[in-house]
Structure 1
Amino acid sequence: MVADLRLTRMEEVRAQLSTLVAPIQWVVSLPSDVLSWSTLALSDQRALVEENQRLREQILTLSHRVQRMADLTAENVRLRELLAAARQQEVPFITAELLSLDPDPFAHQMVVDRGRRDGVRVGQPVMDAAGLVGQVTSVSAYSSRVLMVADASHALPVRVNRNGLRFILQGGGHYDRLNVLHVPDTADIRQGDLLVTSGLAGRFPPGYPVARVGEVVHDPGEPFARVTAEPVAQLQRSRHFLLLFPPERRPLEAWEGELSAVAIEAARAVAGADDEEAR
């Protein structure tokens, strides 16, 4: 100890001794390391088993729903054939991931990792696993900015899934609250009603869930009720999204030729029917 304290050469000796003792220290700490690794492995295995069990239950639930949906889809096809209605087309989509959120507390916008090179365009609907998130407002080469339904400047036409009543749904500036505008006091809208896209204006495809009615307040003497709703999309938690590609709206000029041809054919049919009656 005295030599270690007074002689500088002892530092090299100490280093050599540390090198010799290192394997012994490793062997001594090995049981503790093995125990820690085993505990971690067992905890990870338990978590994986529990997650696997949850996923199996979800698969069973989704399988049941898919079986039910297959029957409902076939019934819907038969009903549409009876009504001679046009069959709804599948809406193509691409996946996207969250890049950033707008730091402005009064703006509810986000940036996703899909842009012009992926075919994204302004006005394109954005969904998550639960419902409508918003729409694309600007596009760059590799990213796009999305205006969420919760933003106070965002509004879209919706309908009550239960009875088909149509309203305008506007963001309230909060992630958990939307406002249903101009609801007559006598309208048949209830707490818990699901609001889906109506398809009016052609921007959002019809039938996609948007919000669920949270509160309906009837003020005595007021012509309109105060109705608030909660978005079904996980606006603050979702990181993965779907960008839908609904069919583009045709301008009015594109319909003029077809409308004229249809009107001419209808006039000819009416004239032919009149001639048959005259004979």
Structure 2
Amino acid sequence: MLLCAIAASALMFVDHRFTRMEEVRAQLSTVVAPIQWVVSVPSDVLTWGALALSEQRALVEENRRLREQILHLSHRVQHMSSLTAENVRLRELLGAAARNEVPYITAELLSLDSDPFAQQMVIDRGRRNGVFVGQPVMDASGLVGQVTAVSAYSSRVLMVADASHALPVQVNRNGLRFVVQGTGQYDALSVLHVPDTADIRVGDLLVTSGLAGRFPPGYPVARVTEVEHDPGQPFARVAAAPVARLQRSRHFLLLFPPEPAPVPDDAGWDRELPGDEPPDALIEAPDTEESG
């Protein structure tokens, strides 16, 4: 036990001081990937057994609920199709560029981090599937987080609820932009530096703003749950709850957002205004001789 403690301390020191351990960690993650799959087998077997032993009445009731849900979603899709067509016409009138669909791949949960102070998880997609560090991860409800480490067959995802995670968002109702940071709890986020006079209300939906270039704009992140104004303070205390089901989702989408367009070197930032002349171009007055 003493030797294991010394070895663990040495590895933590090396990992903290040197960046070469990232590749070693990735290789070790590849080695332990089969172990993670084996660990997830009992849960899959139990799920299959529970489904096989379900009563027919429960299956009929679940089938009925699913049919109602499909009908409800079909109605929403029909409504959204008309809104999409209207949005396209308005963009054509305004001359705005059309929004392209963001490609994605699906992934499944392998394990959750056992550290109570870190909200992270491991999914079954890795470098062989094109996953990269910083890639956005979604579930059926909203943004889950981003990829922080990638191995050949699996990846580690940092959730939005982690205390070290922050991202720029905007209020879907009026476009106000803020920064949302995790609090270390799955059901709570903190909206930072909100002016006391800002138009933000309980129930407002916060979506990605796309300003950082990492998350594509328009994806739901959280919903405001509390706005507290303190007289005499310049900022209000605003709390929000993630819309993603961080503790219940098992299937996810990994987005492949387009790379931001590079800014050309001759964008005209240093262009001289008309009439401006450099200091060395000042015209000196000619010398004149006084006449007798």
TM-score class, shorter-chain normalisation, is 0.7 to 0.9
For 1:189, the equivalent position in structure 2 comes to 200
**Structure 1 residue 200: Cα displacement:** 0.5
Query: Which whole-Å CA distance do the structure 1 matches of 2:97 and 2:159 have between them?
Result: 31
Does 1:89 find its partner at 2:100?
yes
What displacement does 1:48 show? 1.2
Distance 2:104 2:54 in 1: 39
Q: Is structure 2 residue 226 aligned with structure 1 residue 215?
A: yes
Aligned to 1:158, which of 162, 169, 172?
A: 169
User: 1:210 aligns to what SS in structure 2?
Assistant: strand
Distance in 1 (CA, whole Å) between partners of 2:75 and 2:261 is: 39
Unaligned runs of 5+ in 1: 1-40, 268-279
User: What is the distance in 2 between the residues matched to 1:256 and 1:48?
Assistant: 63
Q: Aligned pair 1:256/2:258, yes or no?
A: no
Task: Decide whether aligned partners of structure 1 residues 78 and 222 sit closer, same or farther in structure 2, where only a CA change above 3 A counts.
Answer: same
Query: Who wins on radius of gyration, i.e. which is larger?
Result: 1
* Residue deviations 1:167-188 (CA, integer Å, cap 9, x gap): 0000011001000000000000
Give the aligned residue type for 1:105: P
Which one-letter code corresponds to 2:207 in the other structure? V
Displacement of 1:108: 0.5
Q: Which of 141, 147, 171 is equivalent to 1:130?
A: 141
Alignment correspondent of 1:44 = 55
Residues 87 and 43 of structure 1, relative CA distance in 2, 3 Å threshold = closer
SS at match of 1:182: strand
Query: Within 5 Å, which residues of 2 pair with 1:109-128?
Result: 109-128=120-139
Match for residue 215 of structure 2?
A: 204
Q: Which moved more, 1:43-52 or 1:144-153?
A: 43-52
CA deviation map 1:22-43 (0-9, x unaligned): xxxxxxxxxxxxxxxxxxx996
Instruction: Give the superposition deviation at 1:201.
Output: 1.4
Q: What TM-score, normalized to structure 1?
A: 0.76
Separation (CA, whole Å) in 2 of partners of 1:248 and 1:237? 31
Structure 1 residues 168 and 43: alpha-carbon distance in aligned structure 2, compared to 1, 3 A threshold? closer
The equivalences for 1:7-86 within 5 A come to: 44-86=55-97
Q: Which amino acid aligns with 1:120?
A: V
Please tell me whether residue 175 in structure 1 is matched to residue 183 in structure 2.
no
Q: Report percent identity of matched pairs.
A: 81
Corresponding residue pairs, total: 220
TM-score by length of 2: 0.73
Q: Which residues in structure 2 correspond to 1:102-113 (within 5 Å)?
A: 102-113=113-124
Which residue does 2:236 correspond to in 1?
Answer: 225
Describe the SS at the equivalent of 1:174.
Answer: coil
Q: Any idea what SS the aligned residue of 2:67 has?
A: helix
SS at match of 1:58: helix
Partner of 2:112: 101
Could you say which residue in structure 2 is the equivalent of 1:28?
none
Which of 256, 268, 271 is matched with 1:245 structurally? 256
Which letter does structure 1 place at the counterpart of 2:251? H
Higher share in helix: 1
* CA 1:53–1:184: 2 relative to 1, 3 Å: same
CA distance in 1, matches of 2:137, 2:262: 23
Structure 1 residue matching 2:200: 3-state secondary structure: coil
Alpha-carbon separation, structure 2, partners of 1:209 and 1:47: 33
Whole-angstrom CA distance in 1 between matches of 2:54 and 2:138: 35
Distance 2:199 2:184 in 1: 26
Distance 2:76 2:88 in 1: 18
SS at match of 1:49: helix
Q: Which runs of 4+ in 1 moved over 4 A?
A: none
Question: What's the CA shift for 1:250?
Answer: 4.4
Distance 1:42 1:208, change over 3 A: closer
